[in-house]
Structure 1
Amino acid sequence: MHYRRANVPGGTYFFTVNLANRASHLLVEHIDFLRDAVRTVKQSHPFDIFAWSVMPEHMHAIWRMPEYDADFPKRWMLIKQRFSWAIERRETIAASRRRKGERGIWQRRFWEHLISDENDLARHVDYVHINPVKHGYVTRASDWPYSSIHRYIRQGLLSPDWACAPDVVTRHGERS
């Protein structure tokens, strides 16, 4: 079966990538292996990272591809492969995966969305950064250690209390 993907050289994409076992915590337990995989793949197959957030069993990322290249599936395959090679074999492997020489770590497919404009990009960057709060891992996005929000804060693009509920303001302009 062939899936149609929007292959736009130089395009900016939002991705969701999941582990096969949605109860797993492999991504945060082995965050250094994931970081190494991304760094290594970026060296041989460049792309720019706009945003990234890694939860225990899934991750969201926004990449801009080089002007001459749209092969993000290869990059994801290499990142998944390198991460998988680095970790100990503990997972249950289905017969269909075993026949193909696969491990049982990742869902085979991932979801991507071609970013259409600056507003779409801003909405998806916000989604990436708020995702750990949405899933209940933290109450403030800046408290999640596995997120590009920290780069945005260092660059002065976001404050550490970004997306936190504001204090209630009384009719007289005083904070309660």
Structure 2
Amino acid sequence: MQPFRRSYRRLYIPGGSYFFTLVLEDRRQDTLTRHFTALRQALLYEKQRHPFTLLAWVVLPDHLHMLWRLPAGDDDYSNRIRRFKANFSRQLTSNETISRSRQNKAERSIWQRRFWEHLLRDDQDLRRHIDYVHYNPIKHGHAERAGDWQHSSFRYFVEHGVYPADWAGPAQ
């Protein structure tokens, strides 16, 4: 029997909505929040060249979660993710930590090689993942309230009446 990793098959659905998790190779780093502007620029660059709708996102020091909807007839999220990761990595200075394993193979990427993807099945699944994204800074101890974390789409959702400003905050 092959290991799970080799037999894993991604679902490619044209016009599908997906939840993604991308993780740094070195989970002890804060590269993503420290270089948030460059990360955002890399995402916008990819979005302009190969359109998709960014439904929600959160960026934590060592990983990020995004929800995307692809255009009708388009199922190519893997190449978008690959280019996004590469564009961000190229913008960084050479003093970012590269794992010994990657150094031995002459690889420069700061990212884990793979990423997690989940096809969002329906509106309830979408809503559950949007909540998960916005709760993530609290879960990882980076914020007391969802609104305290600046590297997410939470404030956009508050401005558009989806969440109250005190959603997922400490009990009053």
TM-score, normalised to structure 1's length? Answer: 0.89
2:87 is aligned, of 71, 78, 82, to: 82
Residues 112-170 of structure 1: per-residue CA shift (max 9 Å, x gap): 11000010010000000000000000110010000000110111211110122443xxx
Q: Note if 1:145 corresponds to 2:141.
A: no
What's 2:40 paired with? Answer: 35
Distance between the aligned counterparts of 2:7 and 2:37, measured in 1? 33
Distance between the aligned counterparts of 2:142 and 2:53, measured in 1? 27
Query: Does the 8 Å contact 1:10/1:66 carry over to 2?
Result: yes
| Matching of residues 21-170 of structure 1 within 5 Å | 21-90=26-95, 91-94=97-100, 99=105, 102-167=107-172
Query: Does the 8 Å contact 1:140/1:161 carry over to 2?
Result: yes
CA RMSD of aligned residues (A): 1.5
Q: Note if 1:4 corresponds to 2:13.
A: no
Which amino acid is the alignment partner of residue 141 of structure 2? G
Structure 1 runs not aligned, ≥5 long = 168-176
CA 1:135–1:95 in 2, change beyond 3 Å: closer, same or farther? Answer: closer
User: What secondary structure, in the 3-state scheme, does the structure 1 residue paired with 2:68 have?
Assistant: strand
User: What secondary structure, in the 3-state scheme, does the structure 2 residue paired with 1:105 have?
Assistant: coil
Q: How many residues align?
A: 166
Larger Rg: 1
Q: Which moved more, 1:60-69 or 1:84-93?
A: 84-93
* Offset, 1:97: 5.9
In percent, how many aligned pairs have the same letter?
44
Distance between the aligned counterparts of 2:7 and 2:108, measured in 1? 22
Which amino acid is the alignment partner of residue 36 of structure 1? Q
Distance between the aligned counterparts of 2:103 and 2:77, measured in 1? 22
Residues 78-110 of structure 1: per-residue CA shift (max 9 Å, x gap): 1110110000112235455664x5314000000
Distance between the aligned counterparts of 2:146 and 2:87, measured in 1? 28
Distance between the aligned counterparts of 1:28 and 1:38, measured in 2? 14
Structure 2 runs not aligned, ≥5 long = 1-5
CA 1:28–1:96 in 2, change beyond 3 Å: closer, same or farther? Answer: closer
